[in-house]
Chains A and B, each alone.
Chain A
Amino acid sequence: DAGITQSPRHKVTETGTPVTLRCHQTENHRYMYWYRQDPGHGLRLIHYSYGVKDTDKGEVSDGYSVSRSKTEDFLLTLESATSSQTSVYFCAIRGTGTSGSVKEQFFGPGTRLTVL
């Protein structure tokens, strides 16, 4: 258990409204990631963070922004939600797991977002 929680776990919203998803970690990991998962596409990186206030874009960043004002929280904001952003969103951290010094990704439980 990498101590990752996501909130909310489920959300239904309307097109054009802003939405913020929260990822919280308890183990002081430097790297945090936001992915979306859609059928036929696997997991695609939206944004990631390599420290407080340090973020960078992933392959599907359009329409999304992120913020990281403290180590434990990484926020994903949909500035004006569209139906194409209906998806399951996963947060991940990069930490040391079973492979000794090799860094690995560990995932939160996900947020299912529906944009009507």
Chain B
Amino acid sequence: TQLLEQSPQFLSIQEGENLTVYCNSSSVFSSLQWYRQEPGEGPVLLVTVVTGGEVKKLKRLTFQFGDARKDSSLHITAAQPGDTGLYLCAGAMTSGTYKYIFGTGTRLKVLA
């Protein structure tokens, strides 16, 4: 069974602090997506990383795909209360089945 371990599970920080969320697996993925989910809503896609070592930036969010395409990180600079939510990573399997594996999520709370 392929697993995608996400850490930390919970994070409560003050506005203005930096944080990093990690997504790790022993499996290789063809791509990896990061989502943010608000209560009562579906996950919303933030970014997709495809190439090993790729770095993408979305305003204060920086996403990196590991060189071996087995892991990824999400770094938030100067967190704002609006960043509060559940962050999910999802790896696209390379088996050609077009299935995805999700991490268990990181619940972030940014205090004003």
Interface residues of A (CB under 8 A from B): 31, 33, 35, 40-45, 48, 50, 56, 58-59, 90, 94, 97-99, 102-110
Q: Are A104 and B42 in contact (CB under 8 A)?
A: no
Complex interface: chain B residues within 8 A of A31 (CB)? 98
Q: Are B45 and A98 in contact (CB under 8 A)?
A: yes
Q: Are A99 and B48 in contact (CB under 8 A)?
A: yes
Nearest CB in chain B to that of A104: its residue: B48
Report the separation of the CA atoms of residues A51 and B103 in the bound assembly, to the nearest whole angstrom: 26
- The reply to whether the CB of B59 lies closer than 8 angstroms to some CB of chain A is no
Q: Are B102 and A44 in contact (CB under 8 A)?
A: yes
Q: Are A41 and B104 in contact (CB under 8 A)?
A: yes
Complex interface: chain A residues within 8 A of B45 (CB)? 97-98, 104-106
Segment 25-60 of B: residues with Cβ below 8 Å from A: 31, 33, 35, 40-45, 47-48, 50
Interface residues of B, CB < 8 Å — how many?
25
Complex interface: chain B residues within 8 A of A105 (CB)? 33, 45, 90, 100
Report the separation of the CA atoms of residues A45 and B33 in the bound assembly, to the nearest whole angstrom: 16
Ordered by A's residue number, 29 sampled pairs between the chains whose C-beta atoms are within 8 Å are A33-B100, A35-B102, A42-B102, A42-B103, A42-B104, A43-B43, A43-B102, A44-B102, A45-B100, A48-B99, A50-B98, A58-B99, A59-B1, A90-B43, A97-B48, A98-B47, A98-B48, A99-B31, A99-B47, A99-B50, A103-B92, A105-B45, A105-B100, A106-B45, A107-B35, A107-B42, A107-B43, A109-B41, A110-B41
